[in-house]
Amino acid sequence: MVTLTYVDATANLIEARAYISVMPDDKADKVIASLNKGIYSVQQKINKRLNMRPIPKIKFIKDEKISEAAKIEKLLEKIKDNWN
């Protein structure tokens, strides 16, 4: 499962970083590489749909926040189990 979690663009809209969450986490690097490899196709589709210039240059990046939140959630569950 691949999810676009958020997009961060520079103030001048020249570049945009699209943060991607991937489940299972061990496949994330492969998915991100594949998305970045096919970025030309994505850029073309955006250029056709949007009436803005310039269209930001997009770069896909792994969203680390989701995996870190999962780790914290596991630790909290462990603590909860130890208290009971």
In tens, the pLDDT along 30-67 reads 999 999 999 999 888 888 888 877 888 999 999 888 77
Percent of the chain with pLDDT over 70: 99
- Domains of the chain (ranges; CATH) run 2-83 (3.30.300.20)
Joined tokens for residue 33: 């590489």
In the prediction, which pLDDT does 20 show?
Answer: 92
Whether the pLDDT of residue 14 is over 80: the answer is yes
Mean pLDDT score across all residues of the chain: 88
In the prediction, which pLDDT does 58 show?
Answer: 93
